[in-house]
Every structure is written in C-alpha cells, then in structure tokens.
Structure 1
Amino acid sequence: MADVLFALLPVCFMAWLAFGMEPVMVILVACGSAVATEFLFSRLYVGKTASLSDGSALVTGTLLACTLAPFTPLYIVAFGGAMAVLFGKLLAGGLGRNRFNPALVGREFMTVFFPAIMTSGAIWYRYDAVHVSSLDWLPDTFLDSLIFRGSGAIGEYSVVLLVLGGVYLLLKNRISWHIPVALTVSFTVLFMLLPDGEYRFSLAGVLLGAIFMATDMPTSSSTFIGRLYYGAMIGAVAVMCIAFGVKHEYMSYSILLLNAFVVPVDWVFRPRVWGGKNRLAARIAQGMGLTAAILATTGIVIWLHHREWIMYLVFAYIVWCIGGFFWRQPRPDVAVE
C-alpha cells in the first residue's frame, strides 16, 4: 500500500501545480472519509480497528480522488470515499475479498446519487483557480502535454509520471506487466480500427486505469494467460463504450465489468493439471463463449447507460452487498466451538 501511495504522489503534486489546494482538499477529504468509514465500521461491527494499519483505505481514497474533477464538492467526495470503503470492501468481507475495485465503486455511487453535479462542467475547470495550465519546456507542445497538462481528472495531469509510477510498481514487484500492457495494446489497436468519427478519450485516464485500477489483485485474474486476456478485454470493452457514445465512464465500466467476470476468466485460463490432457479445442470454445458473454454484457451496460438506468444496477448491488454481509454473520442459534 505504501508503494502504491508513493507511486501516486508525483501525480498528486501535479494536481497541486495545476490548481493549488482545491484538488489537494479533494484528495484529503476522500482519504479522510475512507479512513473514518473503515474505523467506524470495524469498531461497530467487528470490534477491532487493526485493519486501519494496512493502509488500504488511504489507497482507496487516493485512487478515488484521482478519478474525480478538481472542483468536486467536498461533501460529495466524502460520500464517495465512504461508499468506496463500505460497499467496495467492508460489506464484501474486507481486504482481499472484494469482487469490484473499491475506488471505482465509490465513483459510480457518486455518479448515480449526484448525477447533475458529477456531469457538470463547472467542477472540471475554474479560470480563477488555475496556477499552471501547461509547460513550455520542449520544442513540441505534444511532448510538453505528456509531462504536464492541466485538464481532466486529478490523476490525469501527467502521462509521464503515471508511466514512471507504473515502472516503480513493476520494479517493486507490486504489479505484473501483463494487464497494463495487454490493456493498452488492445485499446490502441482497436481504437485505430474504429470508423471515422469524433471519439474522445483521455490517454492519461486509460493509463491510470491500466496501471493502478485494473491491477488490483483481489479483482483481477491470477493466471498468466488470464491476465493477458483480462487486460485485453478491458481495452476492448473501453473502446466499445467509446464507440457507442459513453463519454466519461468508459474506463470505470470496462474495469468493473471485467471484475465481474474474473472467476470465469480464471477458470477458462486455468493451468493444465500435470499429467492431464490439453483439451485445446474445448478451451478455445470456452474462451469464445466467455468473450461473447462479456461483449453481450457490455452492450447491455451501454444500453442502460444511455437510458440512464445504471442506477438500478447500483441499487441491486447495494442489496446484494447488504444481503451477503448479513448472510455471512454467525447465526445466534448455531453453536461455534
């Protein structure tokens, strides 16, 4: 957790460079809300607060803040931080048992419960708050924009620092290369194959998702080939979302959707048992069926998005989380030896 936070620090510094204390307050409130929720829930329902020491709440809060606009109202940020930890981690059973990326869960809660504010242009840019909007260090403006560009979400101001953060995590063996590489290659190739049209996406946003979100260990594939497939399908789903008009949520949808398919991905791409037969045809058929299921589900999510019915998915998820939490609690009529 400390290594992830260290890898994100330069990106957070760039947010301060762009807009001063406004984005810094978003980061601090997101982290504070996540830690407070972790403490209160653990104290009330578990009777322990030792889980605070693992640092996961701080990572969740920081990653959530990196996906937000720099001028997001702080009470909405606090709500998102609380929902990220509560419904993204604690109700799922705690650290390592979550099925979905907690930071992205919190972001979707914010989008569903505060749709007008979260889609408002006013929270993305304020002329009076700009400290530095761009650099003029290199002869090419595009290269300068890769180092720093003061637009987008808080974690999207420097492509170079995101990549360096990813390299740091790779060298520290905190993530593997399979998912980020497969995701970016798949996204790039498929995006280039799109028919002519106006498609917009954030390169830094894709890298933030590829390096820091999609590699979350509890919610990603655990096999060699499975990781490559998992990353490639996130890229494919993201391009499909962009092609069909999903403007801001394409990375959130793609990562959360593949989170839901991690178990079948690991099953299809499980290592062959020593001495067992390599049933290649069966594996290919299973992989094709899995891919068809993922793409069909993506189509449903895009349809729900355009009809503004994603809220019903979130409501169903709330019921599922709460029901699962109470189902896992010890029953008073069952003796525990």
Structure 2
Amino acid sequence: MASQSLPSLLKNPDHYLKVFNTYCSASGKFNVYQAWVDSEHFSEAVVGKLQATLDGQEGLRVLGVGSGSGEIDCAILEQLLRQFPRIDNRVVDPSDELLGRYKALAESRAHQLHGVTCDWRQQTIEQYEKAGDLTKFHFIGAIHSMYHADSEDALNSWLTYLYSRLENGGVMLIIMRTEDCGCTRFLNGCQLSFRDDFNDVTSGDVRSSLDRLGIAYTQYRQPQRMNIATCFDRASEVGNLLLDFLTFTVCFREAAPEDLQTRVMEHLASSDCSERNGDEIWLSLDWDAVVINKPLGIAAQ
C-alpha cells in the first residue's frame, strides 16, 4: 500500500482512550482476562510459584508496568492477596488519565484490596529505569505494555531490565497478542505502510527475545475474538471507533483516501483475517500469557 500521512492514534491520547474503551467493550477484554486470572493456570503458574519460593513470607512487592486503568492489575492483586495479606504495589504508567482511573478503581475496591498499598509513578519504563530505583519485586506484570518497543534492541533492553528487577524466585507475567491471530495477520497484511510510527510487537517477538537472552518461560495460549461487523457499516459510530483502533488512526474513515479505505476493508474482510458466521464477522484476538519464574540462587543482577 502506498505511504499516506494520516493522524496517528498514538499521538492523540483523548481519542485513544475513547477508542480503547470501545474496543474493550466490544471484545469483552476484561472479562476474558478475569477468567484467566481466576483459572488454575494463573493459580499454579503465578500464585503457586510465589507461595513455594517465598517460604511463608506475608509481604509481597509487586510492579505493574503500563498498567493502564488497572482492571487486570486489580484482578491479579485480589488473587495474590489470598496468599499474601500485605502487598506493596508500584504502578508505572505514563498516562495521567489512566493512572487517575486506576486510582479511582482501587478506591472503589478498597474492601477487596485491603492490605494493598500503592505507589504511583507517572513514567514510561525508560524514565523509570533512568531514575535509578533499585527496588526488586516478587511479581512483575506487563500486560499489553510492550507494543511500543520500536526495535529488537529496545525489546531486549526492556526485558533485560525488568528481569533484573525481579527477585530470585519471583515471577514475571507478560501478556501480548499472538503472532498468528487474525488481528496480527491484518496488521501484517496491510503492513500499515500508511503509518510511519507503528512497530508491531507480538508474543512471538517477546518469546524470541527471551530465547536470545537465555531466560526460560512458560507459554499459555488464550483464545479471544471480537465481532467486527460494525466496522463495515459506515454509519456505525462503534464500528468507526473500532476501525480507528485496528488501524491506529484518528478518524480513519475521514482521514484515509477512498482507495486506501477500500484496500484496508477488503483485507480485513478476507478469510486470512476474519471468519464469517451469518451476519457476524469475527476477528481473532488470541493472546499469550508468558510466565517467567526467576530461579532461586541466581547471581545478583
């Protein structure tokens, strides 16, 4: 596709939040994650590992990276509280708006989160690292927060740094969209060549980076999908917002020339990206939970 100059969703925080909220509602995002956090997989891979290595320690230090509005983090904290009644929870996110939402959510769940103290840091992970805090954590959660790594070296650097902040015996959870789901095939197929600020990072990239770094992990594949039929209805506000999310563009229908719109929509509707069922058009959003358990006795980093 020919290069186009279109307004970037990544540079418009207000529209991004509107679009993201629409996506979360249409995809049932938080319900899917809640179900996984409530599952035996999370209990065994995260809570069980921490319980086995911390030898009865009650206090837990937790780092949330790019935690956003906090729905997933709060679900994780509630599970951890069942075994660790005191949790120091540090949250690193560059968005003042999303941190505000997280704070409000934590306040509304004060009863469920009794025992959790929060330390809010409005920073990118690079800014947090540069600040030089040497605190180590028993659990680090990075949920859909590595998409902005703009190169293989940057991804390696982020993972190396976060692993160095993990206590021996600690657990890191990274959740990312898979490299072969319909959403990724859509992005790869049109290559978003009309975006000069986009670098797609998937769980496959994370796993490859961990392999290069010699960091062991366990992978849990989780299916998820979203009905995108409204994207093909020009009159649908929800559909247009979802299309903005999928193309990382502010008001894609208004900003993109007709020929580009046609090519993008044809690709999105193709069997390579989506699956039709009557009037429904389903886009797979499958994701991987990559769990890293740092061995006990490893040399200090």
State whether TM-score is above 0.5. no
- Structure scoring higher RCO (CA < 8 A, sep ≥ 6) equals 2
Q: TM-score, normalised by structure 2?
A: 0.29
Specify which structure has the higher proportion of helix. 1
